[in-house]
Amino acid sequence: MVKKINNLYQCEECFLFYDSKEIAKKCENFCKNNHACNIDIIKHAIKNPKS
């Protein structure tokens, strides 16, 4: 399940944050199925989320 933390969405597989729920879901599906991250997805990740 994608987690909403403040205004960001976190992939529970790789723990990266996204500002889009859709992208976070895509990341999670990819991570679960491939046990690796997709570079085209993680390029949208928020590198240093501010709390």
Give the interface with Zn ion as residue ranges (CB under 5 A).
Answer: 11, 13-14, 27, 31
Q: Give me the least distance between CB of 8 and Zn ion, in Å please.
A: 13
How far apart are the two ends of the chain, measured CA to CA in Å?
21
- Report in angstroms how near the CB of residue 30 gets to Zn ion at its nearest: 7
Report DSSP state, residue 19.
S
The least CB distance from residue 1 to Zn ion, in Å, is 12
Asked if residue 24 lies in contact with residue 9, where contact means CB atoms within 8 angstroms, the answer is: yes
* Nearer CB in complex with Zn ion: 8/14: 14
